[in-house]
Amino acid sequence: MKPREGLTLALLQLFAVSEAGKILVYSPSISTSHLISNGRIADALVDAGHDVVMFIPEYMPLTSFLGTKKAKVITMRNINPIFGEMMDGWPELTLKSDRLSVMERLDFEYTATSICGDLMKRRDELKPLADYGFDVGFSEQIDLCGVGVIRYLGIKNHLWISTTSIMDAVSYNLGIPAPPSYVPTIEENDNGDVMDFWQRSFNLYMYVAAIVVHRIGTDGTTAVFRQFDPVFPNVREIAANSSLCFVNSDEIFDLPRPIIHKTIYIGGLGVDKEPKPLDEKFSKLMEKGRKGVIIISLGSIIPFAIKEFEDYHFIIKIDKGDNKTGPMFAGVPNYDLVEWLPQVDILGHPRLKLFVMHGGLNGLVEAALRGVPLVVVPVFADQFRNGRAVEKRGIGKVIHKLDMGYDTFKSTVKEIVENPKYSENAKRLGAMMRDKPFSPKDRLVKWTEFAIENGVLEELHVEGSRMNTIVYLNLDKLFVHELGLPGHYGTVNGQFSNNSPTHQNDSNVDG
């Protein structure tokens, strides 16, 4: 490097540092996938020259994996084991029934609220974060403890993350229209965007259930903060004022729906456009199988069916220390078990014919970006809906978890590897996702910098989020007309919650 170039570089770095924003990413260890997607946000912002701290309250027991490779990490450990204990029971719970019940979802809310309470009992430990002088704070949608913590830390500019497709708790709070006639709810709902009468009825029920469950959860979270600050706003109202909402999904892949200007899709963030070359072990595995390779990343597997696809080699991802799966494959010649996969790169291998997985959004978007056909066996949360998006895009098929067996597995896999339309569709979709205008990284970084520069983006706020349901749906107007009352009338002021500080003058709704 010539001396002058060195100087220019040094100056640029100096400039970058002086312009750097201070960014907090609040990311409880809800699960590995949440740490992955929040970590990708943190890392992309570090790459852009910002000072990023990822704060990880320990929900699930923390391993060495913290999601981020580049940001500073602050953890709060040993808060309360109840969250981990609840999640330990979930594999059994989710495999025995169609979907989690409303009561089980409420359990999740109560558990999260209780951890939030224990976290805030140790709020003295948050002092370094309060003193850091963050410009913006990110937190996600699963429980709104993070929204409260960010307010408690005195950070005014909140940026919201939806780790799933826009979750109903998010659309409800931000005022994003979500017509239940064609926008399926996110959690525990096996509907696509084309629904018959009964499916629409079910979706409407699930919509109301989602709102009720999350209102109960957020009221609990609010109560945590009111224990020491009686005038603490409802966390829903703080969330409603978020400047932006980054959605961990891709609009080319996801089911189409209305959004607002605050909604920024960043799915695929942190996945390189081109896969990196595989190491020797995996390059060799990918040469096996006369017609190609199939990767399976599932809890339950059907060894006999695998044996019958003799032209294909199966790479099966198992949990670390799993010594039960191996013996089940006695006499099956065409498989390898691995405890780890270079997933984003192996999905780009030309000999890969199919990816069989549970439908977690990160893995799905990675596969879709790489143009790989899919079989999805959803287990819980948003996985059902993600599976229906896969079917809508014609890039794969869903097997219902309770129908999973020799016949369904065999016929579904056969259909996908033998009918070229799935891989053609997958290639077209992947190319569009890679080539669409503005990369996920650009959108994340530029919008975050915009929010750092301009403060709270009140200009993007949708009034609908500050109305009560009666005004929002114009039910008062219908009512008045039915009764033939005069045109000007008083509307019910205030918001969803009875402690609302904002009062709109609604008399112009009539104009």
Ligand X SMILES: *[C@@H]1O[C@H](CO)[C@@H](O)[C@H](O)[C@H]1NC(C)=O
CB of 422 closer than 8 Å to CB of 367? no
Token pair, residue 161, equals 């993350």
Could you tell me where the beta strands, DSSP code E, fall in 59-217? 72-76, 136-140, 158-162
CB of 388 to ligand X, least distance (A): 35
Position 214: which residue type? H
**Residue from the set 233, 348, 359, 440 that interacts with ligand X by CB under 6 A:** 233
Q: Which is nearer to ligand X, 63 or 323 (CB)?
A: 323
Q: Which is nearer to ligand X, 277 or 501 (CB)?
A: 501
User: Would you count residue 75 as binding ligand X (CB under 6 A)?
Assistant: no
**Residue from the set 189, 241, 249, 448 that interacts with ligand X by CB under 6 A:** 241
Q: Which is nearer to ligand X, 291 or 317 (CB)?
A: 317
**Residue from the set 3, 133, 230, 321 that interacts with ligand X by CB under 6 A:** 321
Q: Which is nearer to ligand X, 233 or 373 (CB)?
A: 233
Q: State the maximum Cα–Cα separation within the chain, in Å, rounded to a whole number.
A: 83
CB of 26 to ligand X, least distance (A): 17
Rg from Cα positions in the chain: 24
- Alpha carbons 292 and 285: distance in angstroms, whole number: 10
User: Would you count residue 323 as binding ligand X (CB under 6 A)?
Assistant: yes
Enumerate the H helices of 177-245 as residue ranges.
Answer: 197-226, 235-240
CB of 452 to ligand X, least distance (A): 18
Q: Which is nearer to ligand X, 192 or 233 (CB)?
A: 233
Binding-residue pattern over the window 255 to 294 for ligand X, x denoting contact by CB under 6 A? ----------------------------------------
Partnered with residue 398 across adjacent β-strands are 376
Q: Which of residues 473-502 bind ligand X (CB under 6 A)?
A: 501-502
Token pair, residue 151, equals 């307010």
CB of 94 to ligand X, least distance (A): 22
Owner of token pair 């951890």: 115
**Residue from the set 75, 78, 227, 507 that interacts with ligand X by CB under 6 A:** 507
User: Would you count residue 181 as binding ligand X (CB under 6 A)?
Assistant: no
> For residue 55, what are the contacts with CB-CB under 8 A and spacing of at least 6?
24, 25, 26, 27, 73, 74, 75, 76, 129
CB of 470 closer than 8 Å to CB of 495? no
CB of 244 closer than 8 Å to CB of 457? yes
Could you tell me where the beta strands, DSSP code E, fall in 186-311? 244-247, 263-265, 292-297
CB of 436 closer than 8 Å to CB of 275? no
3-state secondary structure string across 27-49: CCCCCHHHHHHHHHHHHHHHHCC
Number of residues interacting with ligand X: please give it, by CB under 6 A: 11
Q: Which is nearer to ligand X, 101 or 502 (CB)?
A: 502
CB of 273 to ligand X, least distance (A): 39
146: closest CA among 64, 221, 69, 34? 221
Binding span for ligand X by CB under 6 A among 112-120, 182-190, 235-243, 285-293: 235-243
CB of 150 to ligand X, least distance (A): 11
HSE of 470, CA atoms in CB hemisphere, 13 A: 12
Q: Which is nearer to ligand X, 73 or 155 (CB)?
A: 155
Q: Which is nearer to ligand X, 280 or 458 (CB)?
A: 458
Token pair, residue 499, equals 């402690």
User: Would you count residue 459 as binding ligand X (CB under 6 A)?
Assistant: no
Binding span for ligand X by CB under 6 A among 16-24, 80-88, 205-213, 232-240: 232-240
59: closest CA among 137, 139, 115? 115
Q: Which is nearer to ligand X, 94 or 222 (CB)?
A: 222
Q: Which is nearer to ligand X, 327 or 333 (CB)?
A: 327
User: Would you count residue 43 as binding ligand X (CB under 6 A)?
Assistant: no
User: Residue of minimal CB distance from ligand X?
Assistant: 233
Q: Which is nearer to ligand X, 156 or 392 (CB)?
A: 156
Q: Which is nearer to ligand X, 287 or 463 (CB)?
A: 463
User: Would you count residue 18 as binding ligand X (CB under 6 A)?
Assistant: no
CB of 233 to ligand X, least distance (A): 4
User: Would you count residue 97 as binding ligand X (CB under 6 A)?
Assistant: no
**Residue from the set 73, 150, 238, 372 that interacts with ligand X by CB under 6 A:** 238
**Residue from the set 92, 274, 418, 458 that interacts with ligand X by CB under 6 A:** 458
Secondary-structure percent of the chain, ordered helix, strand, coil, rounded to 5: 45, 10, 40
CB of 244 closer than 8 Å to CB of 162? no
User: Would you count residue 411 as binding ligand X (CB under 6 A)?
Assistant: no
CB of 22 closer than 8 Å to CB of 451? no
Residues making up the chain, counted from first to last: 511
User: Would you count residue 331 as binding ligand X (CB under 6 A)?
Assistant: no
User: Would you count residue 101 as binding ligand X (CB under 6 A)?
Assistant: no
**Residue from the set 103, 124, 505, 511 that interacts with ligand X by CB under 6 A:** 505
CB of 501 to ligand X, least distance (A): 5
Counts of helices then strands in the chain (DSSP H, E):
21, 13
User: Would you count residue 469 as binding ligand X (CB under 6 A)?
Assistant: no
Could you tell me where the beta strands, DSSP code E, fall in 36-135? 51-57, 72-76
CB-count burial class (<10 Å; 0-12, 13-18, 19+) for 226? middle
Helix (H) or strand (E) holding 146: helix 145-152
Which residues of this chain interact with ligand X, rule CB under 6 A?
A: 233, 237-238, 241, 321, 323, 458, 501-502, 505, 507
